Every structure is written in structure tokens, then in C-alpha cells.
């Protein structure tokens, strides 16, 4: 049995990696070498998944027409979201840059294949949503791996998932989970942008104690 121990230097760098993993919206337009993308996806395949089902499906969106459809989708969803706010919050929302769709050199749509036979249903009979949780874990793995390579990733959540699924014409049974922008950051910040812009500070508390 082989046991792998990681030294203090690695642990310190890992903590720094977690801190520097940011949701990037400001990208340079420099292309990413194809071999880098392939390596990142190979690393992503090491992510944990329920029953070893590996249900994630990463779709590279390269066609200009499909990208344009996604941008229009985002614009419509963003206008609808803005209408939910009033006063100073609405003014601040309108000033936020919430996606790097036009600048990012690579777009990746992420789906969960909810019809996959892989894993033979193990672990998801009572909680089928764990397939989607597994897909989100794969996205997080990609996020960290990209940051370690000097790349930034932005998750575009202001989007109509049904319209995005239609625009991308994926197999039936694939459920939309995320639309990602990937590229070299135009600037680096350890502090979240939403915190820098005054929208929401990061809270440290993540522990809750149930009453006796």
C-alpha cells in the first residue's frame, strides 16, 4: 500500500491556490494552446463522482453563431436580473462586469449526462442529484487546475439554461450545469471582484452547530 504525504511547502502553495482562484470576468484575448486545454481536461477527469459515473460533459463552444446565441441569452437574462433590484443596488448591479463572453478565447459549456450507464446507478438511487453534484466538483477541479497554469475561469450563471441547451444542440438527457469562460486574466486579484466593487464581502463563517 502506497501512502502519499504532501510536505508543508505544497500545503502552503495549495492554500495560496485556493485564495487566488477567482471568478474571472476580465480576460486577455491571447489564445490558449490546445495541449494546455487537453491537459486541463485530463486533470478534470480525476474529479470524484458518484459511483465513478463521471457524468460531466465539457462542450467546447467555438462556432461564432453559437457564441452569439449565448451572448444574446446572457444579455436578456442580465436585463431581467437588473429589473429585480432597486435604488443603489440596481445602480451598482448595472456597473458590474458579470461575464467575459466577448474577450475569453475559450468557451466551455458543461452538461451532466443523466442517462449515463457508467457507474450502474451506484450511490444515486436515493439521491439522483449527486450526478449534478459530481459535475460541479469537476468544474471546481478545472477551476483550480486552470489557476495553477496561470489561467482564469469565469462561471456565467446569468443565463437561461433551457435556451442555452437548445442553442448548443446537445444529446437528449444532458442537463445544463454551467457555461464557462476560460483565458488568461487581464489582471490578477486575490480579493473577489464583488467584494472589491462593494456588492458582497466574503464571509469566513461556514460552521453551524445544531441545538442539543
What DSSP element (H or E) covers 108? strand 106-113
Superfamily of domain 48-186: NADH Oxidase (3.40.109.10)
User: Alpha-carbon distance 189 to 16, whole Å?
Assistant: 12
Which whole-number Å values give the CA distances from 92 to 62, 81, 99, 189, in the listed order?
32, 13, 15, 20
pLDDT in tens, the chain (212 residues): 777 889 999 999 999 999 999 999 999 999 999 999 999 999 999 999 999 999 999 999 999 999 999 999 999 999 999 999 999 999 999 999 999 999 999 999 999 999 999 999 999 999 999 999 999 999 999 999 999 999 999 999 999 999 999 999 999 999 999 999 999 999 988 888 888 888 888 887 777 788 88
Task: Specify the 3-state DSSP secondary structure of 115.
Answer: coil
Sign of CA dihedral 112, 15, 148, 199: positive
- With beta carbons less than 8 A apart as the criterion, state whether 58 and 110 touch: yes
Find the Cα–Cα–Cα–Cα dihedral 103, 68, 170, 182, rounded to 10°: 0
Amino acid at each position: 500500500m502506497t501512502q502519499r504525504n504532501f510536505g508543508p511547502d505544497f500545503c502552503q502553495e495549495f492554500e495560496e491556490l485556493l485564495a487566488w482562484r477567482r471568478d474571472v470576468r476580465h480576460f486577455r484575448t491571447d489564445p490558449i494552446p490546445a495541449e494546455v486545454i487537453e491537459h486541463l481536461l485530463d486533470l478534470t477527469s480525476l474529479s470524484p463522482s458518484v459511483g465513478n459515473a463521471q457524468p460531466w460533459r465539457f462542450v467546447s463552444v467555438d462556432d461564432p453563431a453559437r457564441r452569439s446565441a449565448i451572448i444574446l441569452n446572457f444579455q436578456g437574462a442580465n436585463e431581467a436580473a437588473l429589473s429585480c433590484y432597486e435604488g443603489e443596488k440596481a445602480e451598482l448591479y448595472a456597473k458590474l462586469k458579470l461575464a467575459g463572453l466577448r474577450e475569453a478565447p475559450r468557451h466551455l459549456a458543461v452538461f451532466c449526462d443523466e442517462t449515463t450507464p457508467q457507474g450502474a446507478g451506484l450511490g444515486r438511487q436515493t439521491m439522483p442529484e449527486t450526478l449534478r453534484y459530481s459535475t460541479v466538483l469537476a468544474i471546481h477541479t478545472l477551476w483550480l487546475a486552470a489557476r495553477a497554469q496561470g489561467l482564469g475561469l469565469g462561471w456565467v450563471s446569468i443565463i437561461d439554461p433551457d435556451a442555452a441547451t437548445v442553442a448548443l444542440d446537445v444529446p437528449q438527457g444532458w442537463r445544463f450545469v454551467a457555461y464557462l469562460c476560460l483565458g488568461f486574466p487581464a489582471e490578477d486579484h486575490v480579493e473577489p471582484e464583488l467584494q472589491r466593487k462593494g456588492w458582497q464581502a466574503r464571509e469566513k463563517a461556514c460552521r453551524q452547530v445544531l441545538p442539543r
